[in-house]
Amino acid sequence: MNIQFKKGVLELCVLSQLSKKDFYGYELVENISKYVLISEGTIYPLLRRFRTDGYVTTYLEESQEGPPRKYYCLTENGREVLEELETEWNTFVNGVNHLLRSEVNEKE
């Protein structure tokens, strides 16, 4: 799949996950890669950018096992961006699906 395209979709996936609850990096990566084929290492740079853009904030929390975990929390700003991206995505998918279906209809 086109890399730029995949990146945009990945942004949407990450923001949408974070709108449901705060995640730490590993958990987020694990969750997304369960459904979408990605190089897991590319999520962290994305999260860094989200933080500098003010879409997320981070905080550290101790865990029972292992080192403290860095949690990511969606900001109001991030939520707005998510809504925009989601609308764009839905319009896009509907459009593509329409084209796919109409092509099938023509053949039939």
The contact set with other proteins (CB under 8 A) reads 4, 24-26, 29, 33, 39-42, 44-49, 52-53, 65-67, 69-70
Cβ–Cβ under 8 Å, residues 14 and 46: yes
Rounded least distance, CB 85 to other proteins, Å: 13
- Find out whether 74 and 17 touch, Cβ atoms under 8 Å: no
CB of 25 to other proteins, least distance (A): 6
Helix (H, G, I), strand (E, B) or coil at 64: coil
Shortest Å, Cβ 104 to other proteins = 34
Q: How many residues does the chain have?
A: 108
Per the structure block, which two tokens stand in for 53?
Answer: 């853009």
Residue number, 53 or 88, with CB nearest to other proteins: 53
